[in-house]
């Protein structure tokens, strides 16, 4: 049995405020194997050193060094004092739940590193304004220092990763966590507000330090990554309502891949902002004239009853370059999108509803640049209603249902940790505006024929994720989506049963919904689904039945000439 402390807590003392609160919180830990490494900053206020000395005298587990202004810097100085299995960072004045280190101890052997939720500390010492974080999301970490408080890292790995360089300034711990995220295995997320902020600072929700330091830290870490495609990045601060929320990471596109924008439409019109608007015409105009992307193809999949003048206007706008694909048959979103994909020539496919309008001119560039990461399988945009509220900021799957993150919130609302304001992972994104590689689209079977109107995007997203790819949402690609705000989405019981049959587990365990907020399926597992294609067969949950596959559909499809063939490898293992 080793007597080495489990965790070394690093703190830089710049004044006397709050040190006692942190000290009390450490002494109150139910797991006693900790060490407090205090570095007194060079410009610390008078009395800081004497207070630290009195704490060291009272508590043998506290060690201190201090009053250095130059290199190695106070953060590195605190780290140099550490002699424990792992390290974490606690700002002076912040506190920990008494069970924090006991929880860390219980999980320590089974994970490479870990982080917890965080909250503000109320006057009575209890958590308030809790930031319920998602499970590990690397792009979120690059866009926001969300996994820093409380991050617990193995000390040996910290030294291997270069420690806490003084050049990183106030973002030294952030840079270290970023490097750990790139080098170590996926961390565990300890759900619960273990870390309590004594002072919320100026950030929202709990972003502190210099924005410039954070941006440089992200830029440095990304520039040293192995993938050449992510070598050149521009990182700029992101604010919401005047408060820092994170940063935007803009990647350079090493080349300009051809993007096919597939738009299914019936050529309908409605009143928007008080004026009649033919949706597809205006959206095509918006894409063709406002979008800054040089290698673009527009594929319009239109119903047979689409007015001819609508089609003529589209031809006129695009100079005849738009591909017009007539679609016969009843409404079927998946079939229309799939038909458009087959007819397209783009390396990337952007599926867009017709009732939209471009706000961010470089929306396609932004979305395409995120696909330069080979681990990313699809990207979704931020969509706003006509009144500027959020229509889409990514999907959330919980309790057997699929919902939209922060639906109808103000576009700049920093709630949920600023989830709608920074680029981050999602379990799924809407099919109303989704960009993905054509090869990935084909490999997973495109939009499923099983879902004519609802859940086709949920299913596609989960198929992509089942191949081990991540899905990103970006607020830096923003469009209007003039979907009626008063219309209740019509979801048939059949489609709901089908999606739960396929993805029961994923619809109740979304990794990007905090573990404490996840709910199980509401319905009992006896789901019966009537096949649409062969009405005589039924699928019962848990049964091996797959007889609803109608080979005649393949025969029909075989008659079409191939325009894009890719190696037919079996899909990935089940999730």
Partner 1 sequence: MSLSSGPHQVAQAVTGDPLEILSNVPPAAQLLLRDHIAGLEAEAGSTRAEAARLDRLRLAEIERLRLQLAGVQAERDRAFEERDAALSGWFAILRRGKRWVSR
Q: Which residues bind partner 1 (CB under 8 A)?
A: 338-339, 341-342, 442-450, 462-463, 466, 501-505, 525, 539, 541-542, 546, 549, 553-554, 557-558, 560-575
Query: In whole angstroms, how close is the CB of 566 to partner 1 at the nearest point?
Result: 7
The CA distance from 487 to 55, in Å, is 63
What distances in angstroms separate CA 190 from CA 101, 116, 135, 151, 274, one per listed residue? 11, 5, 9, 10, 50
Give the residue with the Cβ less far from partner 1, 120 or 444: 444
Query: In whole angstroms, how close is the CB of 563 to partner 1 at the nearest point?
Result: 7
What distances in angstroms separate CA 73 from CA 12, 131, 188, 360, one per listed residue? 10, 30, 30, 42
Residue from 363, 366, 418 nearest 393 by CA:
418
Give the residue with the Cβ less far from partner 1, 10 or 438: 438
Q: DSSP per residue over 150-184, as a string?
A: TEEEEHHHHHHTT---GGGGGGHHHHHHHHHHHHS
Q: Are strands 323-327 and 296-303 parallel, antiparallel or unpaired?
A: parallel
Give the residue with the Cβ less far from partner 1, 97 or 510: 510
Query: Could you tell me which residues are beta bridge partners of residue 199?
Result: none
Query: In whole angstroms, how close is the CB of 157 to partner 1 at the nearest point?
Result: 31
Query: In whole angstroms, how close is the CB of 460 to partner 1 at the nearest point?
Result: 9
Query: In whole angstroms, how close is the CB of 437 to partner 1 at the nearest point?
Result: 14
Task: Give CB contacts under 8 A, 24+ apart, made by 495-499.
Answer: 495/450, 495/451, 495/452, 495/453, 495/454, 495/455, 496/454, 496/455, 497/527, 497/528, 497/529, 498/450, 498/451, 498/455, 498/529, 499/402, 499/451, 499/455, 499/458, 499/459
CB 541 within 8 A of CB 437: no
Query: In whole angstroms, how close is the CB of 208 to partner 1 at the nearest point?
Result: 40
Query: In whole angstroms, how close is the CB of 188 to partner 1 at the nearest point?
Result: 19
The CA distance from 170 to 395, in Å, is 34
Q: Are strands 34-41 and 7-13 parallel, antiparallel or unpaired?
A: parallel
Give the residue with the Cβ less far from partner 1, 71 or 542: 542
Give the residue with the Cβ less far from partner 1, 338 or 391: 338
Query: In whole angstroms, how close is the CB of 451 to partner 1 at the nearest point?
Result: 10
Give the residue with the Cβ less far from partner 1, 230 or 506: 506
Residue from 33, 12, 32 nearest 22 by CA:
12
Give the residue with the Cβ less far from partner 1, 83 or 505: 505
Query: In whole angstroms, how close is the CB of 559 to partner 1 at the nearest point?
Result: 8
The CA distance from 27 to 271, in Å, is 64
Helices 48-58 and 19-27: angle between axes, nearest 10 degrees: 10
Outline where DSSP puts E strands in 385-426.
Answer: 390-392, 395-398, 401-404, 424-426
Give the residue with the Cβ less far from partner 1, 329 or 445: 445
Query: In whole angstroms, how close is the CB of 297 to partner 1 at the nearest point?
Result: 16
Give the residue with the Cβ less far from partner 1, 329 or 571: 571
CB 526 within 8 A of CB 500: no
Query: Could you tell me which residues are beta bridge partners of residue 506?
Result: none
* Residues contacting residue 237 through CB under 8 Å, at least 6 positions apart: 211, 212, 214, 215, 244, 246, 247, 248
Give the residue with the Cβ less far from partner 1, 535 or 562: 562
Give the residue with the Cβ less far from partner 1, 309 or 505: 505
Query: In whole angstroms, how close is the CB of 180 to partner 1 at the nearest point?
Result: 30
């Amino acid at each position: 049995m080793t007597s080495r402390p489990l965790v070394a807590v690093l703190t830089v003392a710049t004044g006397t405020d709050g040190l006692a609160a942190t000290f009390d919180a450490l002494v109150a830990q139910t797991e006693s194997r900790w060490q407090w490494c205090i570095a007194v900053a060079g410009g610390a206020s008078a009395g800081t050193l004497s207070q630290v000395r009195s704490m060291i005298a009272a508590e043998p587990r506290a060690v201190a060094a201090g009053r250095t202004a130059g290199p190695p810097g106070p953060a590195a100085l605190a780290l140099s004092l550490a002699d424990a299995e792992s390290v974490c960072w606690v700002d002076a004045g912040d506190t920990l739940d008494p069970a924090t280190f006991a929880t860390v101890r219980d999980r320590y052997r089974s994970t490479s590193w870990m982080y917890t939720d965080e909250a503000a500390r109320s006057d009575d010492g209890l958590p308030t304004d809790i930031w319920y974080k998602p499970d590990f999301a690397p792009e979120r970490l690059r866009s926001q220092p969300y996994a820093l408080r409380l991050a617990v890292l193995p000390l040996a790995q910290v030294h291997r990763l270069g420690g806490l360089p003084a050049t990183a300034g106030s973002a030294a711990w952030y840079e270290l966590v970023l490097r750990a995220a790139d080098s170590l295995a996926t961390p565990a997320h300890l759900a619960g507000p273990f870390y309590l902020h004594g002072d919320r600072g100026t950030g929202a929700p709990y972003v502190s330090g210099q924005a410039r330091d954070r941006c440089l830290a992200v830029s440095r870490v990304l520039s040293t990554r192995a993938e050449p495609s992510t070598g050149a990045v521009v990182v700029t601060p992101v604010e919401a309502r005047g408060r820092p929320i994170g940063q935007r990471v803009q990647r350079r596109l090493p080349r300009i891949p051809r993007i096919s924008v597939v738009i299914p439409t019936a050529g309908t019109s409605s009143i928007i902002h008080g004026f009649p608007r033919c949706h597809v015409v205006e959206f095509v105009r918006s894409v063709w004239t406002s979008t800054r992307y040089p290698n673009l193809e527009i594929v319009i999949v239109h119903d047979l009853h689409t007015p001819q003048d609508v089609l003529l206007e589209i031809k006129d706008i695009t100079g005849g370059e738009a591909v017009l694909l007539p679609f016969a048959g009843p409404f079927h979103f998946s079939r229309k999108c799939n038909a458009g994909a087959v007819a397209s020539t783009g390396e990337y496919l952007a599926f867009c509803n017709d009732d939209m309008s471009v706000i961010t001119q470089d929306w396609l560039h932004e979305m395409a640049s995120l696909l330069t990461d080979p681990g990313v399988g699809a990207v979704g945009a931020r969509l706003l209603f006509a009144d500027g509220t959020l229509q889409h900021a990514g999907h959330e799957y919980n309790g057997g249902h699929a919902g939209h993150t922060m639906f109808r919130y103000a576009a700049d609302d920093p709630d949920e940790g600023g989830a709608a304001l920074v680029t981050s992972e999602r379990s799924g994104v809407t099919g109303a505006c989704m960009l993905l590689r054509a090869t990935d689209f084909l490999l997973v079977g495109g939009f499923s024929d099983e879902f004519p109107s609802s859940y086709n995007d949920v299913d596609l997203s989960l198929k992509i994720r089942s191949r081990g790819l991540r899905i990103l949402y970006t607020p830096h690609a923003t469009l209007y989506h003039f979907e009626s705000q008063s219309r209740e989405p019509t979801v048939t019981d059949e489609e709901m049963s089908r999606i739960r049959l396929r993805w029961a587990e994923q619809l109740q365990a979304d990794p990007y919904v905090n573990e404490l907020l996840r709910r199980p399926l509401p319905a009992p597992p006896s789901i019966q689904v009537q096949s649409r294609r062969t009405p005589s067969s039924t699928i019962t949950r848990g049964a091996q039945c797959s007889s609803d596959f109608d080979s005649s559909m393949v025969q029909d499809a075989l008659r079409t000439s191939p325009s894009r063939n890719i190696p037919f490898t079996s899909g990935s293992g089940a999730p």
